[in-house]
Structure 1
Amino acid sequence: MAELMAEPRVACRTPAEGRDGVTNIPEWKFDAVQGAILEVLGQGPVAFSELPDAVKVQLPHGDLDRLGSVGWHVTTVKLEMEVRGELARVPGKGPQMVTRVERA
């Protein structure tokens, strides 16, 4: 009997103080959503509330069909990207805005 290989997963953390739980998602989902977020933010800051719809447009239909909840995955991947320093929240009042962090 052939052994089933476990699908590679990515541990997604949150930058929030006092929250130390980790959500593990399939690597292909993380990579697809991360790439789409970076593509969207390449045009400049975006309101977090608009990010799921903008990401949806960037994802290939095959990935979109298999992904599940786009909003949930965008939130989960966005939080991990904040922890990694790949994106940041724009300071200020009003709706949460996110922007890409350019590395030197």
Structure 2
Amino acid sequence: MAKEEKILTLHPQGKSGVNILKRRYDFIKDYIVKTVREHGTITFEKLGDMAIEELTDQFDGKVLWYIVTVKLDLEARGIIERIPKTSPHQLRMKN
């Protein structure tokens, strides 16, 4: 059996990332980017709730754990950003 490709995620505060399967990373990354683009801004809670509802039956991992992990990676890579001083915490695409 071929070994699946992995990716080491990044963390916006420079903490250690985690190694996850690239296919899972890409699946969740595509979902987050699509959803944030569609909404403009979205609370992290709403993103997580939507992901659990829409992805649980088609994803072979813990949806919310991957949403958190990939969201942090996308922040560290400058693709999305947490809007400063928002409560609850809101996200948007970074320009």
Q: TM-score, normalised by structure 2?
A: 0.85
Q: TM-score, normalised by structure 1?
A: 0.79
The higher radius of gyration belongs to 1
Gaps of 5+ in 1: none
Q: What is the alpha-carbon distance in structure 1 between the residues aligned to residue 46 and residue 27 of structure 2?
A: 18
Runs of 4+ in 1 over 4 A off after TM superposition: none
1:3-14 to structure 2, matched below 5 A, reads 4-14=1-11
AA matched with 1:69: K
2:51 corresponds to which residue?
55
**Aligned-CA RMSD value:** 1.8
Q: What is the aligned-residue identity percentage?
A: 26
Q: What is the alpha-carbon distance in structure 2 between the residues aligned to residue 27 and residue 33 of structure 1?
A: 10
Instruction: Tell me the CA shift for residue 49 of structure 1.
Output: 1.4
Q: Give the direction of change, closer, same or farther, for the CA distance of 1:78–1:85 in structure 2 (3 Å limit).
A: same
Q: What is the alpha-carbon distance in structure 1 between the residues aligned to residue 7 and residue 54 of structure 2?
A: 21
AA matched with 2:33: L
Q: Give the direction of change, closer, same or farther, for the CA distance of 1:93–1:59 in structure 2 (3 Å limit).
A: closer
1:29 partnered with 2:24: yes
AA matched with 1:37: I
